[in-house]
Structure 1
Amino acid sequence: MDLNYSQDQIALSDLVRNICHDFCDTTVVRSCEDDALGYAKALWDQLSQSGLLGIAIDETHGGSKLPMLESAAIYEQFGYALAPVPHFVSSVVSALIIDGGDNTQLQNQLLPGVAAGDIILTPASLEPEGDYEPEGIQTSATMTSSGYVLKGVKRHVFYASSADYLLVLARTGENKKDIDIFLVPRDAKGVQLIQEHSMASDCQYRIELNNVIVDTNSRINAEGDGWRLWSHVLNEAIILDAASAVGLAERALEITVGYAKEREQFDKPIGAFQAIGHYLADCATAVEGARALVYEAAWAHASEKPYAALASMAKLFACNTARDVTAKAEQIHGGIGFTMEYDIQLFFRRAKQQQLNWWDSRYLEKQVAAAVLDSDQPLAVADPFTIEVESKRS
């Protein structure tokens, strides 16, 4: 395992950083806060023109499927810029669900449009009284002569107002995992969208499904395979979410280091005081540790080695690191750091929200604990450095 960036990773990272620099400064980020549409259209169009919306889609469907290491490099830059785009929900999670299902008609219909940016998809899984377990899915999908009738409520559905279709997890039977995923047009009769306001001021919606009828071909997965598909996709996608948390923490640290060098107290920069220096040293160490764990998980995925436990650990540690780093950044900035005029609060609020999205810290801890206590499988792949040394000796 080589944790140094490859030439491809460097090229992609530079490309995305340059695009975000030109189309996603903090003015753009602020303009998208609590906005009904919620994403930067100019940035989205530029990502489309650069071929970056098809990173999880193969070439046969118009994409440019990338290994996880290259995708992680892209997502680190998204986090660095706080990029307000539906890339994660559409080009990653939804694309992987469609691709992993067995409905070839929907694959041919949707994936080229997703890769081109002409179609936006978003998953709808969480429910008001549910958690991240299959029992939390109580939205029902009842088979009738007209097709499936969906009834229930979903919350925290990202970019729902911009999506052409929703990917709705619904219960089709009484057994614990009798769950399927259905493609539902956002403007279908019976679909009601209500905007929710989060700590991050990002674009989230509550969706009420009032006897929504979809045809039988709208089921994405093989019958009864929805929960397995959903869990598999989330295990993969959270590696990229963790990478974006690393980028967010890195940028917050950069802003704070710059402030500590400029802000003077007692005729010298506050960064010269030992307490502040130690704070920043701890933050830098934590960010590099999170980055190493994220890229180990990405490497394991790209190398087709077991990665589920690493993915949960990476998401847990990276999001906790982003939260801790931005909290320390706020403390170093003092009272002005909490004012809306200063950019650091943008990172602080999003770091906390990111701990709650796509499997929260408590669920991730449960996943890691299960890997530690309940499984005889190794938590990580065999030490690649040891393998390299032993091979040289032999």
Structure 2
Amino acid sequence: MDFTLTEAQRELAALTRKILDSSDTPWADLVKSGVVPESPDEFGVLEQCAVLVELGRAVAPVPYLPATVASCALASFGTADQRSRWLTPGTVLSVALTESGGVKTTVPFATTAAAFLVAHDAQVFLADAADLTVVPQELVDGTDAGSFEFAVSGEVVPGLTPEWLITRYTLGLCALQLGVTERALELTAEYARTRVQFDRPIGSFQAVAQRLADAYIDVAAIRLTLWQAAWRLSEGLPADAEVATAKFWAADAGHRVAHTAVHVHGGTGIDMSHDVHRYFTAAKRHEFELGGATAQLLRLSTAL
């Protein structure tokens, strides 16, 4: 297995980074540039993960992950009418995968999505946002989310299962977490090189250097397990164990990297206006969304 990105995948990632660095309207520009393609079949799992890593690096509040998962699901399983109605350029779709007390909750970009793929029991329903009462929610990292009550009605997406959606959304969270932790480590290493205490850069202190070295290894583990899982999905191979492994490392190692970034930055690390705080809260959200480290170990035990 060779997890090296192709030239086309690297160029797609570079274009994504360029847009995120310069645009005041990143979602519109991602759609306009073709990073969000007109046809969901244009890019595969590896290309999507390459984009998601860049979105994580920028902590970009755009609906790429839920929209891509939902669009690819409709492209693969949707009826002709469902595809023609909802697979249009720039249309924001989302997925409702978690439930509490009969209410679909923490639905990403719920207040801006035009429609939702709603997981219920062993089926997935297509629900028009116009038919739902969405209550806005604010997640730990401040991104858009919402909840709504869902009555079992409407269109079923034939052949699509909740497990299909959860597997691909979980993989996307791992890709976002790789970008978040990569950039958080870069910011922390730069701070350790330039922050002077006792007439020495703090990065020269053994304890700080060891924590950064541990964080480097953790990021490498997130990267390796992500691309292993993404490759297997892209090849149509069974990947339940690999996705659970990737999410375990995204959660467990992501936790350590996020806390290292805050601790090394000291007081500035807990300043809510500082960039490090944005990376910390994003990492915490990706750690627990769709199951933290313990939940992934339980999934692994089932798979094995």
Report the TM-score range of the alignment, normalised by the length of the smaller protein. Answer: over 0.9
Corresponding residue for 1:202?
143
Write out per-residue CA displacement over residues 149-184 of structure 1, whole angstroms, 9 at most, x where no aligned residue.
xxx5211111111011122234xxxxxx5x432222
Correspondence 1:163 to 2:113: yes
Q: Contact 1:256–1:329 at 8 Å: present in 2 too?
A: yes
In our comparison, the structure showing a higher alpha carbon Rg is 1
Corresponding residue for 2:64?
87
What is the alpha-carbon distance in structure 1 between the residues aligned to residue 262 and residue 100 of structure 2? 32
Corresponding residue for 1:384?
none
Consecutive unaligned residues of structure 1, counting only runs of 5 or more, are 25-41, 59-63, 130-151, 171-176, 373-394
The residue matched to 1:289 in structure 2 has which SS? helix
C-alpha displacement at 1:198, in angstroms?
A: 2.2
C-alpha displacement at 1:10, in angstroms?
A: 1.5
C-alpha displacement at 1:200, in angstroms?
A: 1.3
Write out per-residue CA displacement over residues 317-336 of structure 1, whole angstroms, 9 at most, x where no aligned residue.
12322221010111111122
Q: From 301, 315, 321, give the equivalent of 2:253.
A: 321
* Alignment CA distance shift 1:365-1:346 (3 Å): same
Corresponding residue for 1:54?
37
Write out per-residue CA displacement over residues 59-99 of structure 1, whole angstroms, 9 at most, x where no aligned residue.
xxxxx2x232222221111110111111111122x113323
Correspondence 1:220 to 2:161: no
C-alpha displacement at 1:55, in angstroms?
A: 8.3
Correspondence 1:12 to 2:12: yes
Q: Give the aligned residue type for 1:124.
A: A
The residue matched to 2:134 in structure 1 has which SS? strand
Correspondence 1:123 to 2:95: yes
Q: Contact 1:193–1:205 at 8 Å: present in 2 too?
A: yes
Q: Contact 1:158–1:204 at 8 Å: present in 2 too?
A: yes
Q: How high is the TM-score relative to the length of structure 1?
A: 0.72
The residue matched to 2:149 in structure 1 has which SS? strand
C-alpha displacement at 1:102, in angstroms?
A: 4.7
Consecutive unaligned residues of structure 2, counting only runs of 5 or more, are none
Correspondence 1:68 to 2:45: yes
Q: Contact 2:66–2:169 at 8 Å: present in 1 too?
A: no
Q: Contact 1:76–1:247 at 8 Å: present in 2 too?
A: yes
* Alignment CA distance shift 1:97-1:44 (3 Å): same
Q: Give the aligned residue type for 1:266.
A: F
* Alignment CA distance shift 1:13-1:55 (3 Å): farther
Q: How high is the TM-score relative to the length of structure 2?
A: 0.93
What is the alpha-carbon distance in structure 1 between the residues aligned to residue 293 and residue 46 of structure 2? 23
Write out per-residue CA displacement over residues 365-387 of structure 1, whole angstroms, 9 at most, x where no aligned residue.
22111122xxxxxxxxxxxxxxx
Q: From 230, 236, 239, give the equivalent of 1:304.
A: 236
Q: Give the aligned residue type for 1:362.
A: T
TM superposition outliers: structure 1 runs of 4+ over 6 Å: none
What is the alpha-carbon distance in structure 2 between the residues aligned to residue 80 and residue 269 of structure 1? 25
Correspondence 1:248 to 2:180: yes
Aligned pair count reads 304
The residue matched to 1:53 in structure 2 has which SS? coil
Q: 1:163-202, aligned counterparts within 5 Å?
A: 163-170=113-120, 177=121, 179-188=122-131, 191-202=132-143
RMSD, matched Cα? 2.0
Q: From 214, 219, 222, give the equivalent of 1:290.
A: 222
Corresponding residue for 1:99?
75
What is the alpha-carbon distance in structure 1 between the residues aligned to residue 163 and residue 294 of structure 2? 16
Q: Greater helix percent: which structure?
A: 2
Write out per-residue CA displacement over residues 257-280 of structure 1, whole angstroms, 9 at most, x where no aligned residue.
111111111011101111111111
Q: Contact 1:164–1:185 at 8 Å: present in 2 too?
A: yes
Q: Give the aligned residue type for 1:5.
A: L
Q: Give the aligned residue type for 2:123.
A: D
Identity, in percent, stands at 28
What is the alpha-carbon distance in structure 1 between the residues aligned to residue 116 and residue 236 of structure 2? 30
Q: Give the aligned residue type for 1:127.
A: E
* Alignment CA distance shift 1:44-1:3 (3 Å): same
Q: Contact 2:251–2:288 at 8 Å: present in 1 too?
A: no
